[in-house]
Amino acid sequence: MPLYEHVYLARQDTSAQQVEELTAQLKGVIEGLGGSVAKTEYWGVKSLSYRLRKNRKAHFTLMNVNAPPPVINEIERLERLNEDVLRYLTIRVEEHEEGPSAMMRRAERDRDREERRGERGDRFDRGDRGDRPRDRERRPRDDSEEPQTAREE
């Protein structure tokens, strides 16, 4: 059977629980029609590049599907009918990616950076620099030290 990666975007005002229920419903349809879902990942609420049906953010969900083409047609039809689904995209792949997807690896990397930033401090640990003269204070301020021109002679 062909392998697919299927991503759908749900409206921002739906709860994460409703998105999980929709994912479970789609998974049930896929399995009922002879396919299987290898992996599902909920990527969370992310900002969109542009507004989709008056929404600036959306819930992102990925499903790795192993199913015949009519099953994909059916879940896409169901998503077109569902008002909570803003967009969907299904791509046929040669093999499913092992481990977490790129989006989940990115989230882990961002979490690790936040943890390291907490260990390092906010860069306010450098201490006081003391009283150092500013550039403005070093330059002469009065006009008396300017060189005289040839016209004045």
Domain-located, residue 107: no
Contact in structure between 63 and 26 (CB atoms under 8 Å): yes
The better pLDDT of the pair 68, 107 is held by 68
The whole domain housing 11 covers 3-94
Q: Tell me the mean pLDDT in the region 69-84.
A: 94
Domain-located, residue 125: no
pLDDT at residue number 20: 95
Does 138 score more than 60 pLDDT? yes
This prediction has a pTM of 0.68
Contact in structure between 10 and 85 (CB atoms under 8 Å): yes
Domain-located, residue 46: yes
CATH number of the domain encompassing residue 23: 3.30.70.60
pLDDT at residue number 118: 65
pLDDT at residue number 108: 75
Does 123 score more than 60 pLDDT? no
**Of the candidates 22, 7, 13, which has an alpha carbon nearest to the alpha carbon of residue 55?**
13
Domain-located, residue 142: no
Q: Tell me the mean pLDDT in the region 3-29.
A: 94
Q: How far apart (Å, rounded) are the C-alpha atoms in residues 135 and 9?
A: 55
Q: Tell me the mean pLDDT in the region 128-148.
A: 62
pLDDT tier at 144, thresholds 50, 70, 90: low
pLDDT digits (tens, 9 = 90+) for 77-122: 999 999 999 999 999 999 988 877 778 777 777 777 777 776 655 5
Query: Please, what sign has the CA dihedral across residues 83, 87, 92, 98?
Result: negative
Count of the separate structural domains present in the chain: 1
pLDDT at residue number 149: 57
Q: Select, from the ranges 12-26, 116-130, 131-145, the one with the highest average predicted confidence (pLDDT).
A: 12-26
Domain-located, residue 36: yes
Domain-located, residue 51: yes
